[in-house]
Amino acid sequence: MALTTQKHKFLLIIPLLFGVLVGGWVWNFKAEVPDSSSSIQLGGDFTLKSHQGDVSLQDFKGKAVLLFFGYTSCPDVCPTGLAKMSAAINLLTPEAAANVQPIFVSVDPERDDPQKLAEYSAYFHPSLLGLTGKKEDIDRVVKAYGAFYQKVELSNSALGYSMDHTTRIYLINKVGKLSELLFHDTAPPKIAEKLRAIL
């Protein structure tokens, strides 16, 4: 009798163990790739610094926002992404374009201050706003948007270090909710089409 009880106890442990394992796996999976499975929950308001002071996402309620993370020393991917965002805005009617706010968040506050970002951003589009901040403030935004960046020392390179980073363009609707994730190499007409749909 005593043996049967023990056996029963043991049998009970199996599904329990299984549950813990599956639960752990699901939890891990969500933690690692928060952007692929639950893009609806990503995003949200944030405040960072421009050359003219604090800027929050909610300042642009009523406008569609294009958000891109990068750094100004980035030789290739960032200029491409920003040029495509700008070209997309230029494909819109002036009325529609006035209702789009493109934002470039630098994840490299060591090299990019708000003044430098302002000059850099203006080169791509007059309305492109360059934002950055303290590392912990940037990290909060990066995390909220399921983005990622990492400082990588480049031995032998004159660049010193590069920032590996996600290269998505975030499309945010007029009420500040993340609408869609695009890629840095999405063609401008495609980005323009997505913008028109949410304006």
Partner 1 sequence: MKIILTMLLALVPLSATRADILISNPYIRATPPVVPNSAAFMRLSNTGNAPVFLTSANTSAAKNSEIHAHENTDGVMKMHLIEKLEIPARSAVHLEPGGLHLMIFDLKQPLMPGMTIPMVLNFSDGTSHKLRLPVMNISLGE
Residues making contact with partner 1 (CB under 8 A): 33, 72-73, 75-77, 79-80, 83-84, 87, 116, 119-120, 123-124, 148, 150, 152, 154-159, 162, 164-168, 183-185, 187-189
**Among the listed residues 179, 177, 180, 149, the one whose alpha carbon sits nearest the alpha carbon of residue 78:** 149
Which residue's CB is nearer to partner 1, number 60 or number 124?
A: 124
Q: Are 131 and 69 in contact (CB under 8 A)?
A: no
Identity of the residue, 80 or 173, whose beta carbon is nearer to partner 1 in the bound complex: 80
Is the CB of 90 or the CB of 93 nearer to partner 1?
A: 90
Closest distance of CB 57 from partner 1, Å: 22
Handedness of CA 151, 106, 32, 194 (dihedral sign): negative
Closest CB to partner 1 among residues 60, 72: 72
Smallest distance from the beta carbon of 37 to partner 1, in angstroms? 14
| Nearer residue to partner 1 within complex by CB, 41 or 115 | 115
DSSP 5: H
Check if the beta carbon of residue 67 is closer than 8 Å to that of residue 169. yes
SS3 call for 25 = helix
3-state class (DSSP) for residue 104: strand
Quote the least distance from Cβ 110 to partner 1, whole Å. 15
Closest separation between CB of residue 188 and partner 1, Å? 6
Alpha-carbon radius of gyration of the chain = 22
Q: Quote the least distance from Cβ 83 to partner 1, whole Å.
A: 4
* DSSP designation for 41: G
